[in-house]
Structure 1
Amino acid sequence: MTSRLPVYLISVVSLCVVAALYYASIDTIKTLSPQGCRMSWMSPSYLLQSGFDRKWTSLAGRYSLWLYREVGWEGHELHGAPVLFIPGNAGSSHQVRSIASSAARQYYSNPHEVAFEFRGNPLKALDFFAVEFNEDLSAFHGTTLDAQKAYTRRAIDYILSLYPPDTPIVIMGHSMGGVVGVSLLPHPKVSAIITMSTPHTLPPARFDRRVDRIYSTNRNALLTEPTPILSMCGGATDLMIPSESCILPEALSTGNGSKPYRRTIFSSALEGSWTGVGHREMVWCHQVRWRIARAALQLGPASTASGRADVLDTWLRDGQTLPPGYTPAIAPLALEGAEYLSPDVRLELKNPTGSRTYVMPAPGDTSSRRRFLLYVSQGSISPTAPHSPLPLRASIYACSTTSTCQPLRADSLRLVPNPQPGKPFPVPDEGSDESEGVVVFEAELPSDYSGVAVRTEYGDGRGWVVGGFVPEEPSVDKAGALGPLLSHLSLVLPSSQLRTTVQLPNLLSSALLVYSLAPKLSDGCTDALLWPLLQYTSHPAETHYFPLGPRSRILLHTHASAPFISSAYTHGLNFSVYSTGESACAIERLELAVDLWATLGRWGTRYAAPAASWAVGVVAISLFDAWRAVDAVGVMPSVGSSLATFASARLPILLILSFLTSFIPLLVDMWLGNRGEWQLSPIAPLLLLTVTGLVSVSWAVISILMWPLRKLARRFFSRSSPVISRRTSSLVSLGLICLLIFLLVPWQVGFLGCWIYHLSTCASVQPTLAVTENAAIPLIPRDGEDEQSTVSPIAPSTRLPATTQDRSAQNEREHLLLLMTWLLPLAAPVLAIWVRTLFTAGLTTPFDGDHNVLYVAPFLVLVDPSWGLTWTWVWGGPAGLKSRWTMVVLALAAFVWGPRYTYLVFEVASAMLVVGVVAHFIKR
């Protein structure tokens, strides 16, 4: 008999791994991407749009439409441009209040009084409408998404009927609401779409094939539709969706060579925000919501797609591109009265006053130091500035040997944070202020110019300006990917540089890998104008800022490359260090290594769903071995024995095989979606070990659950064998259940009923076996059969005693129970949606597409003892196929395609059983 000690050890290890994954995932909120959001306040009211009734849509009894009004600031009448807010999974129409309130309080300086900056221009106040989906769980169910799409489309028609013809509407979607918004395209009246924390490229839950179809349709819209779309992502702080799925795909070129506007911005890169933002916090985080509200206000007068794109780029910037409409100063600069600096002296102005011009000649080594950089704190380099800047303004010119200079066009013009020494960044519950920030100007000095002139104006004694030439070429380290895994990688940086760029092209850049960076610098950096600031850009849409302190530890993470998502950004670690060059703040070196704890947290948030699929694969392989025992000795082993055999005989081989398979560059949709990256190969054996332990723990839980049921059966049932119905009544019951599923309830309800019934059957049969330990129990013949024609699962030549036959049949039932238990999570989400819909809207809308009786019919037959069928009978040899090999097919589906297409696992299991049951009855 196989020892069960390995099963117990694996179960304990598995529970420890799950706990570690959970706590590591939770820690990412505090350590990987801290959140610094100020709470938003409002005085909300919601007006039900009762006119949007059943005359407009049949879904009016299930959903509703509301108009937001800021109490005391706005009246009930419509007075502006319409905006429609679409909530996400389990979301509410009330989530519109933060953005809508900000829009009202920006447009009005006082109640009903238009702010000065909006007077005399075509901007209008906004009318924020919001659809109410009664907190539907749309992430799990394609039919629910289709219903929300149909309702929203009609809601747009109703809203626009309240306005003059040709009035456009702006769509805002949070989470899955963004998916609904994109699914509305093409739509002639939708002027722009702003999504927040929306998983555009990968469904967060993969239990429904129809969700994949919706995503496929949306992808075509994202690639080709001309409507401008901007996606706002929260980053690692968002634990509800992986933020790599929030990144919009690059649109395809149109016939005239242009591309539709698609912009993805992470809140950590958003100018003035610079913080990670949680999934639900995205709609109320002040640093984000006021910018989204302002962009919506400015979209009104824009009449073209390019004009709307400029508005979005103006108010929702991450600094990766130049500001819309950016042009350097047109007039040349005269140098009369200018101050000339030495070639080895950088410009440094503390608390500048008045207006001055400074000229800096280019260094003598013109081949490597022709790039000019300028910092302006709290002031502006037009048009970039903090939201409430100081009067201080700077302009930059390229100078030749003549007495005049020409405007120098920037290659990069962005706003970066200036964290306060001694404070965390971002500051919890506070974050950055609108007036904070340092404008960074970078430009390449043309070869026919010999220097740069900086003109400062309107200085009032506040702020500072620092500028100088920096190296053009980055510092490249060719260290291999193995270095940070085995030990610390030491990076030495040049001292007293205004900006140093470091590139490590050989390191893996993946959402599943986190690097720890520890700076080594002196402790006398308290008086620096700009504390050394690390800018980490892993993707054109994703930038993070980290202050470098003497004892700080920085965690570098990315969403550029991730499981099941195609990406061109799979390798390379690139960052820049900005500083004002004080020698006391010189960075001696940076030590880089892989942070195992944070990396473990990234694994946990991305492989929870694949774990359920792999668990089905473990059960399938256990069944394969169990049926092999039936073929060999005629007896089905118990579930505990099968799991013990798997743990001791199969698991070591599978662990090695899973590790080696991870080196194969499979398609991104297969296996664990890691494309053969060897650094990620330990994930597969760890996941396999964990799910094996979870399967063992689940069987222990099931056994504990059956114990009270067994006691009840022993007390209330006097017969020594289970009551077996006649075939006719079973056929009628099966027909009624199938009819009920076909007409009313989803098949997931039928599967849950099957599982509950089978659990009670497995529990009630066990006392019978104890009572009849020394007695044989004959099989009860069905209609039209005599006792001699009764089929036995054991060949006549090897007929076993009745007690052994019963024990083997019971073990087979329990194996089926274990498999159904792990198939249940794949059906449970839709079941939860159905129950929730019953409570919120009743039977107002049928669950179209969830009434396929073939998903559950074979289970109905197998769990009903009156049919006298077992898996061994069903797969006893149609077309010469042994039953155990069907489990190999199921295991392959679960391990190879199940992690990405989770719904495929249930479909394969159901399809095999359907074919088997049909083949059995045909053979009969």
Structure 2
Amino acid sequence: MRANAVVSLVSVVSFAGLLGFYLAAINVQQTLSPQGCRMSWMSPSYILQTDFNSSWTTLAGRYSLWLYREVGWEPTELHLRQPVLFIPGNAGSSHQVRSIASSAVRQYYKSPRVLSPEFQAETLKPVDTFAVEFNEDLSAFHGPTMDAQIRYTADAVSFILSHYPVGTKIVILGHSMGGIVATSLLPSDQIAAIITMSTPHTLPPARLDARMDALYARIRRVLALDSTPILSLCGGATDIMIPSETCVLPPAKESVFRRTVFTSALEGAWTGIGHREMVWCHQVRWRVARAMLELQGLETSAARGNVLDQWLRDGTRLPALNLSTARVRFSREEYNIAEASRPLVLVKLDEPSLHLLPLTVSDHLTILVSRGRIAQIGPQDAVSLEVKVLSCQNIDNAGGVECGAVTPGAVRLIPSPVSGREFPVPKEGSAESEGTVFFEVAGSSLSGGWIAIQVEPVGKQGGWVVAQIGPEDTRQDMSTTGVAAGRSTVNLRPDAMKTTVFFPNLPQGALFVYRVVPHYSVAYKETMFPPLLAQRSGLWEIHYFPLIPYQQRKILLHSHSSGPFVDSETIGGLQFDIISSGSGPSSISLKLAWWPTLGRWASRYFTTVACFAIAVVSILLYDFWTIGEGTPASSRSVAQSLQYFHRRRLPCLLIGLSLLSFMPLPLEYFLGNTGEPWLAPLAPIILLISVGLVSTSALVLSVLLWPIQRIYPRSQIKSKKEGPSRGTIISLPLISLAVFLFIPWQVAFLGCWAVHFMTCACSTNAPTPRLVELHSADGEEMRTTAHPLPAPSTLEYNCNIHILLLLTWLLPISAPVLVVWVRTLATAGLTTPFDGDHFVLNVAPFLILVDFISHSGVEALFRKHRFEGIISSRWGFLFVAAVATIYGTRKTYMVFDAATAAIGLMVLLRVAPAYWNAVYR
């Protein structure tokens, strides 16, 4: 009775944990990185490229190629200057190209067929935007489907370029898995540049196919050597379809252009963007479209990289600066000397001015410019100021001073949140004219005793400049336990324009979320630039959070600098800057945000739950076979096996997985976190959830079997006889031939499950009332209480249910390919070849085992072969459990391979001899 209570308690805890993880995961998108995107509008039309037929590609009957045209704005004929090809992703459509293609047309034309003024003096022409149509194939789950798309796209590139002058190169846009198709085309001298959007470059999103891993490995080798410019746009935490830490491009040589740009840092966007929204979000699409226009006619990869950097900047690196080496002399009448004791504030700037500030080696200069540019960085529209920062020598006797250009330490466009409004503004976000330029430089990098700020009005009034010079303000907090259990408070200097806060001992990455709360010692007053928190992590990622008091939205710091099975780009520690115009908070408090942290765990380890469940079922089978081999007539029901597991195995496994969590294993093993102590509770929690799900699945199977058991009474159940039946001799070769020629082996596995389900339904469970004590194969007593010795029919029933439980938990690994196959047949027709899944040995052991049990029973499965003198074949189930635990999360397909090997060994050593003896008896 107490054992049943333990099983029930674990099941309840499991479901509570599962529900909590689910609720936390769906809450992450709205709270962690809210989306602020403006909808885009267009008048689309699509022209089918009928000439791209079977003479060009063998896949013409399966896929198609389309040319986009904006109705009323441009002619239907090709412009014959710059072709662009859009590749959709998993379950994507060629129509997703319409937002970006429309923006390219409407930027080039001011009105229908009337050029915009900025393009009239240039030699640029409109682009021709093509798109491939993959009929919404589920490419993320299936390597051969990806191979088919790659072959078709390569043929499409050759077809498109055949219409253009020799030497023309194509620009590739890839969304989601379309980005993987794009990079798979390399190396190629036909591709000018590649822009990917929400593409998982580091890891395949569904790790159910070894061929996907092989494809990713090949791409990594090619990208390490290829020089084609590639830029990857990532949506961050708002993208719930892929983990955004996998969106980062693999490293390459410094001379090769590779950029990963998170939209939370993208200048002019500053928002997380969902997976599907990436192709239509206006703040992104117009920049991608402008880059497409500007890429035409460029001869070198470096020039193309500069264009991508110009229109898709994130501020993580300095722009290409054309600084003059000449020094300029200013007389005393041309400049003002500002006080260094307080910030320089310039407003109502209607005429040129020059301001000098004294500088020492220990000083740090910070400048904020509204509606202006510094070093060519500024808003796209409505610029009213041009600001230059100069380094000056000491003032001479005549009052004159010589100044030269300054190389900044950092310069980027940052958002300007408005008090009383959410940031980013829902369904609106930021406009092209918004943003404030942030500029900083350290005194140690300057020569001379003065810094000059030169301001020149170039448009309408409305801009302002704020500058501060002084020692760099850095705060460091070494606390760790306080952040996890409670909160840690850091005091700040409210009048500092920039303060850096660093927690060196706190881990950051995709599995941690921290909450920041600002505190003000005096009542908050409106300022020119409200306090803004800028969190930078890794090499590419920046997040911005307003620190305006009393705002409803929580400030949740998160990062994608590392994640499960993704190597970290940083040494460690949590760091952020607080930027303001001199009225920041007096202190901030930081604590671990447990609820969104759990949501991040759930979104990255849901496959681990299934793998751990397979490990639990495998251990149940090992214990079941241990009893069956030790006392052939005895067995346990699934309920009894679960009771024994909870009592004896579960405590040991919880302790073992906890210890394993602290071990610095290689990145590809276990949970992929290299022994991070903060994540030690993760594995035991997942195990408890998996155990509860196994118990529940056993109950569900019993409920499903009950009505069929009522339909098939005992009198209709045929007697068992060992040996191959006439049906076996006919059906197994036919099924194997069908798998080899037509159907994927996953269909045969589903058939195995269905046949064995019916076998279980037709089995009986009638124990004989004899008492016996159970012992293991080595003589160890496994149950001290006497219990009824089962009849052979009960042994068969219990064995069948245990095997059915294993087959059921293996279904999620093989079932996605079935969905891909059915969808391919529905969209492309019955004659479409479905390559790559016809290896009969993947399913042959299950076919033989299920067939043998259906007509011969299970007694032969417990007879040891003479080759099993030292190690029994039941140890294969422990092998499955080990593979599911150590490799399952990263390489889920290996779990099915391990199960096939374990069942194959048992078939070889126990079923095959039974067949042989029956034939030659």
Q: Does 1:3 align with 2:20?
A: no
Q: 1:879 maps to which residue?
A: 868
Please state how far the C-alpha of 1:912 moved relative to its aligned partner.
Answer: 2.1
Q: 1:48 maps to which residue?
A: 48
Matching residue's letter, 2:218: T
- Distance, in Å, in 2 between the alignment partners of 1:611 and 1:570 is 30
Matching residue's letter, 2:292: A
Q: 2:411 maps to which residue?
A: 413
Q: Does 1:248 align with 2:237?
A: no
Please state how far the C-alpha of 1:875 moved relative to its aligned partner.
Answer: 6.9
Please state how far the C-alpha of 1:723 moved relative to its aligned partner.
Answer: 8.0
Q: Does 1:298 align with 2:294?
A: yes
Please state how far the C-alpha of 1:554 moved relative to its aligned partner.
Answer: 1.1
For residues 585-613 of structure 1, what are the alpha-carbon distances to aligned partners after superposition, in whole Å with 9 as ceiling and x for unaligned?
Answer: 34121111111101000000000112111
- Given that 1:83 and 1:171 are in contact with CA atoms closer than 8 Å, whether structure 2 keeps it comes out as yes
Matching residue's letter, 1:599: T
What is the DSSP-based 3-state SS (H/G/I as helix, E as strand, rest coil) of the residue aligned with 1:478?
A: coil
Matching residue's letter, 2:246: S
Equivalent positions of 1:540-619 (< 5 A) are 540-552=539-551, 553-569=554-570, 571-581=572-582, 585-619=583-617
Q: Does 1:353 align with 2:350?
A: yes
Q: 2:328 maps to which residue?
A: 332
Match of 1:831 among 818, 822, 834: 818
Q: 1:387 maps to which residue?
A: 380
Q: 1:891 maps to which residue?
A: 881
- Distance, in Å, in 1 between the alignment partners of 2:52 and 2:21 is 47
Q: 2:86 maps to which residue?
A: 85
Most deviating of 842-851 and 148-157: 842-851
Change (3 A) 1:601 1:330: farther
Please state how far the C-alpha of 1:869 moved relative to its aligned partner.
Answer: 5.7
Matching residue's letter, 1:572: G
- Given that 2:745 and 2:838 are in contact with CA atoms closer than 8 Å, whether structure 1 keeps it comes out as yes
Change (3 A) 1:400 1:726: closer
Change (3 A) 1:447 1:276: closer
Q: Does 1:128 align with 2:113?
A: no
Q: 2:186 maps to which residue?
A: 185
For residues 216-273 of structure 1, what are the alpha-carbon distances to aligned partners after superposition, in whole Å with 9 as ceiling and x for unaligned?
Answer: 0011122221001100000001111000000112103xxxxx5211100000000000
Please state how far the C-alpha of 1:801 moved relative to its aligned partner.
Answer: 11
Q: 1:784 maps to which residue?
A: none
Please state how far the C-alpha of 1:852 moved relative to its aligned partner.
Answer: 1.1
Q: 1:139 maps to which residue?
A: 140
Please state how far the C-alpha of 1:626 moved relative to its aligned partner.
Answer: 1.6
Please state how far the C-alpha of 1:722 moved relative to its aligned partner.
Answer: 6.2
Matching residue's letter, 1:179: I
For residues 493-539 of structure 1, what are the alpha-carbon distances to aligned partners after superposition, in whole Å with 9 as ceiling and x for unaligned?
Answer: 12300111112211111211111111112564342111100110011
Change (3 A) 1:149 1:485: same
Most deviating of 490-499 and 548-557: 548-557
Q: Does 1:855 align with 2:842?
A: yes
Q: 1:432 maps to which residue?
A: 430
Matching residue's letter, 2:689: T
Matching residue's letter, 1:825: P
| Count of aligned pairs between the two proteins | 882
- Distance, in Å, in 1 between the alignment partners of 2:569 and 2:815 is 36
Please state how far the C-alpha of 1:390 moved relative to its aligned partner.
Answer: 2.3
- Distance, in Å, in 2 between the alignment partners of 1:30 and 1:659 is 32
What is the DSSP-based 3-state SS (H/G/I as helix, E as strand, rest coil) of the residue aligned with 2:23?
A: helix
Please state how far the C-alpha of 1:400 moved relative to its aligned partner.
Answer: 1.8
Q: 1:792 maps to which residue?
A: none
Matching residue's letter, 1:528: T
- Distance, in Å, in 2 between the alignment partners of 1:815 and 1:470 is 72
Matching residue's letter, 1:104: V
- Distance, in Å, in 1 between the alignment partners of 2:260 and 2:831 is 38
- Distance, in Å, in 2 between the alignment partners of 1:548 and 1:663 is 37
What is the DSSP-based 3-state SS (H/G/I as helix, E as strand, rest coil) of the residue aligned with 2:504?
A: strand
Q: Does 1:61 align with 2:56?
A: no
Q: Does 1:72 align with 2:107?
A: no
Change (3 A) 1:645 1:802: closer
For residues 607-628 of structure 1, what are the alpha-carbon distances to aligned partners after superposition, in whole Å with 9 as ceiling and x for unaligned?
Answer: 0112111110010111112222
- Given that 1:617 and 1:894 are in contact with CA atoms closer than 8 Å, whether structure 2 keeps it comes out as yes
For residues 765-786 of structure 1, what are the alpha-carbon distances to aligned partners after superposition, in whole Å with 9 as ceiling and x for unaligned?
Answer: 23xx46x9799xxxxxxxxxxx
Q: 2:200 maps to which residue?
A: 199
Please state how far the C-alpha of 1:653 moved relative to its aligned partner.
Answer: 1.5
For residues 29-55 of structure 1, what are the alpha-carbon distances to aligned partners after superposition, in whole Å with 9 as ceiling and x for unaligned?
Answer: 111101001111111111111111111
Most deviating of 68-77 and 442-451: 442-451
Please state how far the C-alpha of 1:918 moved relative to its aligned partner.
Answer: 2.5
Q: Does 1:398 align with 2:398?
A: no
Q: 1:656 maps to which residue?
A: 655
- Given that 1:392 and 1:463 are in contact with CA atoms closer than 8 Å, whether structure 2 keeps it comes out as yes
Equivalent positions of 1:130-529 (< 5 A) are 130-252=131-253, 258-327=254-323, 332-335=328-331, 336-362=333-359, 366-369=360-363, 371-402=364-395, 403=400, 404-445=402-443, 446=445, 448-458=447-457, 460-472=460-472, 474-479=474-479, 481-522=480-521, 524-529=523-528
Change (3 A) 1:189 1:4: same
Identity fraction in percent? 48
Most deviating of 825-834 and 374-383: 374-383
- Distance, in Å, in 1 between the alignment partners of 2:584 and 2:425 is 25
Q: Does 1:904 align with 2:904?
A: no
Match of 1:870 among 843, 855, 858: 858
Change (3 A) 1:329 1:433: farther
Q: 1:637 maps to which residue?
A: 636
- Distance, in Å, in 2 between the alignment partners of 1:873 and 1:107 is 74
Matching residue's letter, 2:96: Q
- Distance, in Å, in 2 between the alignment partners of 1:326 and 1:388 is 22
Please state how far the C-alpha of 1:120 moved relative to its aligned partner.
Answer: 2.8
Change (3 A) 1:454 1:690: same
Please state how far the C-alpha of 1:301 moved relative to its aligned partner.
Answer: 2.1
- Distance, in Å, in 2 between the alignment partners of 1:592 and 1:328 is 44
What is the DSSP-based 3-state SS (H/G/I as helix, E as strand, rest coil) of the residue aligned with 1:707?
A: helix
- Distance, in Å, in 2 between the alignment partners of 1:559 and 1:738 is 46
- Distance, in Å, in 1 between the alignment partners of 2:298 and 2:420 is 44
Please state how far the C-alpha of 1:340 moved relative to its aligned partner.
Answer: 1.5
Equivalent positions of 1:589-738 (< 5 A) are 589-634=587-632, 635-714=634-713, 718-721=715-718, 727-738=725-736
Please state how far the C-alpha of 1:447 moved relative to its aligned partner.
Answer: 5.4
For residues 772-821 of structure 1, what are the alpha-carbon distances to aligned partners after superposition, in whole Å with 9 as ceiling and x for unaligned?
Answer: 9799xxxxxxxxxxxxxxxxxxxxxxxx9996111011100110000000
- Given that 1:333 and 1:406 are in contact with CA atoms closer than 8 Å, whether structure 2 keeps it comes out as no
For residues 736-780 of structure 1, what are the alpha-carbon distances to aligned partners after superposition, in whole Å with 9 as ceiling and x for unaligned?
Answer: 1111111000000000011111112211223xx46x9799xxxxx
TM-score (norm 2): 0.93
For residues 123-174 of structure 1, what are the alpha-carbon distances to aligned partners after superposition, in whole Å with 9 as ceiling and x for unaligned?
Answer: 1211111111111111111000000000000000000011111110001100
- Distance, in Å, in 2 between the alignment partners of 1:586 and 1:131 is 51
What is the DSSP-based 3-state SS (H/G/I as helix, E as strand, rest coil) of the residue aligned with 1:3?
A: helix
Q: 2:830 maps to which residue?
A: 843
- Distance, in Å, in 1 between the alignment partners of 2:678 and 2:172 is 41
Matching residue's letter, 1:609: T
- Given that 2:635 and 2:790 are in contact with CA atoms closer than 8 Å, whether structure 1 keeps it comes out as no
TM-score (norm 1): 0.93
Change (3 A) 1:357 1:866: closer
Matching residue's letter, 1:62: R
Most deviating of 277-286 and 725-734: 725-734
For residues 667-693 of structure 1, what are the alpha-carbon distances to aligned partners after superposition, in whole Å with 9 as ceiling and x for unaligned?
Answer: 111010110110000100000000111
- Distance, in Å, in 2 between the alignment partners of 1:447 and 1:102 is 43
For residues 538-594 of structure 1, what are the alpha-carbon distances to aligned partners after superposition, in whole Å with 9 as ceiling and x for unaligned?
Answer: 11110000000223531111111111112232521111111000xxx3412111111
Change (3 A) 1:413 1:875: farther
- Given that 1:521 and 1:587 are in contact with CA atoms closer than 8 Å, whether structure 2 keeps it comes out as yes
- Distance, in Å, in 2 between the alignment partners of 1:367 and 1:163 is 58
